[in-house]
Amino acid sequence: MKITSLVLSSLSVLPLASALPATRRQASCTAANAIQRKEYSDLTTDEKLAFISAVKCVQSLPSRFAPGEIPASENLFDDFTAVHIDLSLSIHLSGTFLSWHREYLRLLETVMHEQCGYPAGLGIPYWQWTKYSAATLELSPIFDGSETSLGSNGSPDPNGKPYELTPGVFVPHGTGGLCVERGPFANTTVRFGPYPNSAILTGLPANWTQPNPRCLTRDINPTIIGGFLNAARIAQLQASENIAVFQERLTPNTATASGGLGAHRSGHIAIGMPMMDFFASPQDIVFFLHHAEVDRQWSMWQDADESRRFSYNGTSTVLNPVGVTPEVSNSTVITFGVLGDDMTLEEVAYINQGRYCYQYV
Ligand SMILES: *[C@@H]1O[C@H](CO)[C@@H](O)[C@H](O)[C@H]1NC(C)=O
Ligand SMILES: *[C@@H]1O[C@H](CO)[C@@H](O)[C@H](O)[C@H]1NC(C)=O
Ligand SMILES: *[C@@H]1O[C@H](CO)[C@@H](O)[C@H](O)[C@H]1NC(C)=O
Ligand SMILES: *[C@@H]1O[C@H](CO)[C@@H](O)[C@H](O)[C@H]1NC(C)=O
Ligand SMILES: [Cu+2]
């Protein structure tokens, strides 16, 4: 779609660039050599199977933590959740949210490419929020429960209750609620959480690293999809005049009954259960498709006006309390624990320059 903007006039820097370290190299990133991140439905059958197989491969690689350090983390895929939990009170509802999750996705994509035989030119797929309606998400190629899906919705829970998002703010439960019983991720075990939303304010319990094994559940929620992930909402997000407004529309600091949910939180609630967990949501692979869509929305918004490229708002602390951590800037460092190197926000501002060369198609 944005092929023209990707064809960079950087041929002249090539001889010089090849002398620089690979990660800093200003290589020529073009539509022809960029990693393609496709909407899940646009993957071929072979590509869907390659993605599913790569996820299972990451779930079979050893944990990078020292034995006993994080007892709930049994493999490298779990490590992605553990690091996300550990940093949750810095990387959400803060100025580092967009940048941190951009690099986080790239780290999983890199493991898939380097250790799991995932096709080099293919990236993590995304879930385009507006592609499916409230009625059809459950029947989509992502969730239809077939061998090329990411598993079904959870089985219906006849006792499902409304969710209280924040005190006094309820949304109805969805059409599932129990274990995912069909498709490649049927009967997957999750071990982290659940953690209460109150831990956003109080901090995690000391035993957060202890395993609590149970089945992967989902509760696809038509109320949320219809109400908050619709085309009008996404158009409004893209029309945001500055980064503070963009972040507020994507993921506001307070959820209100009048609609202050934002597309980011809505996507988590729309899938439900582990995906709704503020801390432990990456346990459901759909997290990565949802966050690829968040990243796609951010990159489109950045591309629309270059003055937005290095604009930031917020601190490195959840809810941006005054005086705890500084307002973020180009030089703010984000960390990734056992998953990867430290990064500055300046280094992750383009998806097609510097350390990244991928595009959303
Ligand atoms: C998942 O578990 C359910 C209930 O135990 C069982 O009926 C079903 O066959 C399992 N599915 C797979 C794919 O293992
Ligand atoms: C952690 O501690 C809480 C409070 O004592 C308890 O309810 C919960 O089951 C514990 N979690 C695990 C995984 O041990
Ligand atoms: C961040 O945005 C808020 C809301 O618009 C604003 O009050 C604040 O001054 C901004 N912070 C910086 C550092 O620009
Ligand atoms: C952030 O970095 C970019 C690219 O190096 C630079 O153009 C921009 O001026 C920097 N912003 C600030 C406020 O220093
Ligand atoms: Cu997150």
| pLDDT per position as a tens digit, 117-152 | 999 999 999 999 999 988 899 999 999 999 999 999
> What's the distance, CA 354 to chain centroid?
21
Q: How far is the CA of 84 from the centre of ligand 5 (A)?
A: 6
CA distances from 202 to 4, 142, 198, 214, 232 (A): 48, 35, 6, 25, 36
The ligand 1 atom at the shortest distance from the C-alpha of residue 181 is: 1
Name every residue whose Cβ is closer than 8 Å to that of residue 127 and which is 6 or more positions away in sequence.
Answer: 39, 40, 142, 267, 286, 289, 290, 292, 293
Ligand nearest to the CA of 99: 5
Name every residue whose Cβ is closer than 8 Å to that of residue 168 and which is 6 or more positions away in sequence.
Answer: 257
Using a 6 Å cutoff on CB, does residue 248 contact ligand 4?
A: no
Ligand nearest to the CA of 329: 4
- Tens digits of residue pLDDT in 91-114: 999 999 999 999 999 999 999 999
Ligand nearest to the CA of 85: 5
Sign of CA dihedral 50, 43, 231, 297: positive
- Structure tokens, 357: 């060369």
CA distances from 22 to 147, 220, 239, 305 (A): 38, 42, 36, 28
Question: Is the CB of residue 246 less than 8 Å from the CB of residue 303?
Answer: no
Most ligand 2 atoms within 8 A of CB, residue of 198, 210, 279, 283 to mutate: 210
Residue with tokens 């197989």: 53
Q: Per-residue b/e over 172-207, b at no fewer than 16 CB within 10 Å?
A: ebbbbbbbbbbbbbeebebbbbbbebebbeeebeee
Using a 6 Å cutoff on CB, does residue 207 contact ligand 2?
A: yes
* Ligand 3 pocket list (CB less than 6 A): 244, 313, 327
Whether pLDDT at 24 is above 50:
no
**Residue 11's pLDDT is what?**
34
**Residue 280's pLDDT is what?**
98
**Residue 253's pLDDT is what?**
79
- Residue 183 has φ and ψ, to the nearest 5°, of 90, 180
CA nearest to 336, candidates 75, 105, 114, 104: 104
Mean pLDDT across 62-73 = 97
Using a 6 Å cutoff on CB, does residue 311 contact ligand 4?
A: no
> Where does 92-167 have alpha helices with state H?
97-115
Give the residue, 15 or 359, on which the prediction is more confident: 359
Q: Where are the domains positioned within the chain?
A: 3-360
- Tens digits of residue pLDDT in 246-295: 999 999 876 544 456 899 999 999 999 999 999 999 999 999 999 999 99
Please tell me the pTM assigned to this model. 0.91
- Residue 98 has φ and ψ, to the nearest 5°, of -65, -45
- Tens digits of residue pLDDT in 148-185: 999 999 999 999 999 887 778 888 999 999 999 999 99
Top-level CATH class of 3-360?
A: mainly alpha
**Residue 135's pLDDT is what?**
87
- Tens digits of residue pLDDT in 318-338: 999 999 999 999 999 999 999
